[in-house]
Amino acid sequence: MVGTKTVSVKLDSRLYTALKTRAELDKSNVSDVIRSLLCSALAAEELDLYGNEVAGFIRGVVDARMDVATLDIERKLDAAEDRIAAVLSRPMTAAIMAGLMSADVLKASYASLDDVPVADIWKNYLAQAGELSRAGLGRIDEVKLHARERADG
């Protein structure tokens, strides 16, 4: 009777990426590269897997990697949405988004800070406009140009 031995194989994301790159360079697919690696590892242990077992294992690994990639993209989107929400929740940003860009309106946003120079208010405005730009809500070059024109005028 032939004995059975369970072998646990774990592919982390770096190894999977390396295997995928190797497959692309060899003009093959990642499943073939994983199968080859797995068979080599098992041969070193004097073990073998056949047919459906190998195919099922490889499908599971590839599916798991795809799930990880999807989760990573979803996490990045969630983080971007959180960052946008945080920027939009600020009072100064509300004025910016409403298009209220005159120095008087910006000064009114700081009604309790009468001693704050208008130049500092513009500096704050530009910093928040930069955050809006990084969050994907506008082009900072246009905002800076518009702000400079208003501040100087």
Q: What is the pLDDT of residue 140?
A: 43
Q: What is the pLDDT of residue 16?
A: 72
Cα 153 to Cα 136: distance, rounded to the nearest angstrom: 28
User: Which amino acid is located at 29 in the chain?
Assistant: N
Q: What is the DSSP string of 13-72?
A: HHHHHHHHHHHHHTTS-HHHHHHHHHHHHHHHTT----HHHHHHHHHHHHHHHHHHHHHH
Q: What is the pLDDT of residue 146?
A: 44
Q: What is the pLDDT of residue 42?
A: 65
CA distance to 105, 113, 130, 137, 151, per residue, from 98 (Å) = 11, 21, 16, 13, 18
Q: What is the pLDDT of residue 148?
A: 45
The low-confidence residues of the chain, meaning pLDDT below 70, are 1-13, 38-39, 41-153
Q: What is the pLDDT of residue 138?
A: 47
The structure's pTM equals 0.29
pLDDT in tens, 68-90: 555 666 666 666 666 656 655 55
Q: What is the DSSP string of 114-140?
A: TTS-HHHHHHHHHHHHHHHHHTTSS-H
Q: What is the pLDDT of residue 30?
A: 74
Q: What is the pLDDT of residue 3?
A: 57
